[in-house]
Amino acid sequence: MIRISLVEKAPKAPSALVLLAWEKEEGFLNAPGKAWDALRKVLEQEGFAGKESQGAFAHTGKGSPKVYALGLGSREKATSETFRRAGGRLARKARESRQEEVVLEWPRSFRGGRLKAFLEGVLLGSYQFTRYKTQREDLPSGLRSLSLQVPSGSKAEAKEAIRLAESYCAGAILARDLINGAPSDVTPRVLADAARKMAKGKVRVKVYGKSDLKRMGAGGLLGVNIGSAQEPYLIHLHYRPKGGAKRGKGPVAIVGKGITFDSGGLSLKPAGSMETMKMDMSGAAAVLGVFSQLNALAPAVEVHGIIATTENMPGGRAYKPGDVLKAMNGKTMEVLNTDAEGRLILADALSYAVRQKPGAIIDMATLTGACIVALGWLVTGAMGNDPKLLGELGAASEEEGERLWELPLVEEYRNDIKSRVADIKNIGGGRDAGTIIGGLFLQEFVGETSWVHLDIAGPAYPERDYPTIPYLGSFAGTGWMVRSLLTFLRGR
């Protein structure tokens, strides 16, 4: 990642300066001196007016530094995401111009939360996935160093902003790297090994293999796995804070769907729809991203991380439409479509989570294409049985710019998953309310536990270019919800 350092004062001859400006406010453009007069003229020629979408590059002559002017838009409408997007635009401008070092004087009026958001934008916007590139010298290196000058008396706040931004983004980038890896390289075993590496400090890890799953009665996970040559795993990460958790709302269980490749099974997807199906483990990757940072951030809440992981493949032994699987909690599930497999493995993961007696369960899954139709590529569909928990998650996600929108768990729709031959079936009767139907199915496995389901199908792997989500020549993983969950856990 980029090296971020605090400096007492800007170098006398920095190679590049970063300047921030509100829309319709003169600010730095009114600074005295001939150098600033020249800069103002260059920026005016570029049409720079401080609008949020604007980022201008200026160079006023030999011996003077390059300047990146970033618009913040309206001061009244600014949020943390305003600063995060500005940081992302800086990273992009630096990469385009092959600028490796910049200096930023952070204004006194911008508090630590805004600095954290800006630095997150820089770190996330600088992300590149080069694992499979053999001609790396052709890739612009982008930003390597950011020197930060802050007002006197603000050093402690700035250091904390840097610490949090670096930790949050390290977790998200870990998730991105896992999601972006080729599906034959990032297998269920690789996810299990990644989890095992986190077994240090206050984190403990258990990995259950096929024989364990048979003993535990994990019929959903085993059923989906049967057509694959890769072994399935149920992964349990457990963070226990030093001295035990503070008295309060009880442990939190974070559950992630880990389908490392989804062919659709015997209900085979069209070829074009399979091209991005390495991303179907984005929920699991987010759980690992969160746990990678818990020792460093040390939240005072006990956390369980639970991942069910397998491939969903066709073959002579694969599970079939018409099969009936039994989940870990004893509930039977009629399979009518093998491409609605995520809910089948989550049935076991949620049942296992309930056994840990948590105060709250949050599951994350790229569950339904219907959620993308409803909410697009930048919004998560949220459903749950606890309005207060939904509100806490909503506040955390708003702070981190990872938007949620609550969808109702309509009781009348529950009839759509009633089965004639089993307790429930894994799809509804048609295409209507597909995301809600998926949420109602999962609710069958949480009992009375406070629970929220996050359908991250759109933002986990968006078909959009965005300042903090670099477009890598094709779609790419985002590590969505890692930062929001870290904020949620720290506030819990």
Q: Which of 92, 176, 257, 343 is catalytic?
A: 343
Q: Which residue, 40, 36, 11, is CA-closest to 102?
A: 11
Please give the structure tokens belonging to residue 25.
């406010």
What is the residue-wise DSSP string for 345-389?
HHHHHHHHHHHT--SEEEEEE---HHHHHHHTTS-EEEEES-HHH
Question: HSE (CB half, 13 Å, CA atoms) of 437?
Answer: 20
Say if residue 284 is exposed, middle or buried (CB neighbours under 10 Å; 0-12, 13-18, 19+). Answer: buried
Phi, psi of 359 (to 5 degrees): -80, -20
Burial 417-445 (b: 16+ CB within 10 A, else e): beeeebbbbbbbeeeebbbbbbbbbbbbb
Q: Which residue, 285, 246, 1, 295, is CA-closest to 120?
A: 1
Alpha-carbon gap, residue 110 to 94, rounded angstroms = 23
Q: Are 492 and 358 in contact (CB under 8 A)?
A: no
Q: Are 67 and 39 in contact (CB under 8 A)?
A: yes
Residue 269 annotated as catalytic: yes
Alpha-carbon gap, residue 458 to 464, rounded angstroms = 10
Please give the structure tokens belonging to residue 443.
């609710």
Encoded amino acid at 249, one letter:
K
Q: Which of 269, 320, 403, 414 is catalytic?
A: 269
At residue 340, the 3 state secondary structure works out as coil
Q: Which residue, 454, 460, 458, is CA-closest to 478?
A: 460
Phi, psi of 147 (to 5 degrees): -95, 130
Angle formed by the axes of helices 482-491 and 155-180, nearest 10°: 130
Residue 84 annotated as catalytic: no
Query: Residues with catalytic annotation?
Result: 269, 343
